[in-house]
Amino acid sequence: MPPRAVAAAAAAAALLLISSAAVAAPDGHLVARLPGFHGALPSKHYAGYVTVDEGHGRRLFYYLVLSERDPAADPVVLWLNGGPGCSSFDGFVYENGPFNFERGSDPGGLPNLELNPYSWSKVSNMVYLDSPAGVGMSYSLNKSDYTTGDLKTAADAHTFLLKWFELYPEFQSNPFYISGESYAGIYIPTLADEVVKGIEKDLKPRINLKGYLIGNGATDHEHDFNSFVPFAHGMGLISTELFEDVSTSCHGTFWGTVNDLCQEKIDKVHWELKDLNKYNILAPCYHHPEIQELEFKNSSLPSSFRKLGETEKRFPVRKRMAGRSWPLRASVTDGRMTMWPELGGRSLPCTSDELANAWLDDEDVRAAIHAEPKSLIGSWELYTARIDYYHDTGNSMVKYHKKFTAMGYRALIYSGDHDLCIPYVGTEAWVRSMGYRVIDPWRPWYFGEQVAGYTQGYEHNLTFLTIKGAGHTVPEYKPKETLAFYSHWLSGEKI
């Protein structure tokens, strides 16, 4: 066949592929309008339910934002927030979603939505999943399903993915990554394990998993929960005298069952840290914007230091109040986990999620995104009180990371360097504990000709990275820098 004929045939095939992709997406899941947003969407949005258990009526809700660049070729990236029990609309509304949310003209009314120039959908197809059932918009008609844990959550999420790729066959060949933060440090490895096992069993459709990225993730008991004391000292939050005192009394173990003297010293450290925002020690703890302004006005910190924790988003980083990451300083240990709402209040007491609540509890919004009404599934909650959740996968995820990286899957482990919830020093320590050879020694990475953080690369496609001035929810605090390292890493470029 002549070259010109070959080119024409290839073009026709490509056009046919694009056409088939356009009709493959389920029409009933297309989001045609979004209350609060005025204008044309830069890419198509789809949302709806995937039933993972027909007998129980267990259904998981997702929201898909097609890539604004090249949806047919760009990676598909699943986003999971943590908790456990946190809706992934947390990430959609406040972090890397397609919109910035602003207060509406009426108090408590529908917020205004503007396009987010640093959305991860600039370079990838984003799937936000509410998981497990009982979280966010996901639900079950059999309430026994609300007693769950790591393994059941992973199995359901895997079932969701298999059925989702059947709904969207045009994406089956796209590179697939799993992403998330906080307790997703447990969600992601356990889900990845289900996916890998499914690939080994030749389950169809075959999921084209390429790797995963985890931000400030709960991973390893010893490293995560022994890191807050050295982090606090290194950040100048406790005195050297107290640091030496608690180190001597506790012999390097600052959580779990310890002797009375050690516990007394740990309690003193907690007392010194009690008024800090544990999610970002640079940010204030406050209930209203006026308090933030007052605290910044009266602060003796240099403005250059204070600005490290600020964001340029239209709506300020959501209101942090109490700021403890795990209830009553509890670590992530085997067995039933205490959920924040059990301690009082409807949602996580360190946040005021007025914009997300106002938008996702609006029945017109729910109809637009194909979510069930409040009469069936109740109000949307950032952190749900509906589920009984059991941590049942042991005290460390490091074994999963060793397995996946040894198999050739890519892994990016990133940390906001001012997070006291999961301090970067503990994350760096467990990454180093894997024993991999360093191939890209510790160095700064840059954004806008300024140091944006530090990174170190290891063999087996493992990368550790910090983000300067960011807290626990990195895309929320540093959206520009986050999109930069995310885009480079996805494309395999040097960060």
Active-site residue set:
182, 419, 472
Q: Are strands 319-320 and 438-447 parallel, antiparallel or unpaired?
A: unpaired
Provide the edge-to-edge strand list for the sheet that holds 335-336. Answer: 147-149, 388-391, 335-336
Taking alpha carbons only, the member of 58, 65, 105, 110 closest to residue 88 is 65
Kindly provide the b/e burial profile for residues 436-448, where b requires at least 16 CB atoms within 10 angstroms of the residue's own CB: beeeeeeeebebe
Taking alpha carbons only, the member of 400, 389, 427 closest to residue 84 is 389
SS3 266: helix
Backbone angle region of 18, left / alpha / beta, with phi > 0 → left and psi within -120 to 50 → alpha? alpha
Taking alpha carbons only, the member of 315, 327, 241, 339 closest to residue 278 is 327
CB 185 within 8 A of CB 397: yes
CB 453 within 8 A of CB 444: yes
Cis before 132? omega within 30: yes
Could you tell me what percentage of the chain is helix, strand and coil, using 3-state DSSP and rounding each to the nearest 5? Answer: 40, 20, 40
SS3 324: coil
CA distance 487 to 66: 15
Tokens standing for 179? 């992403």
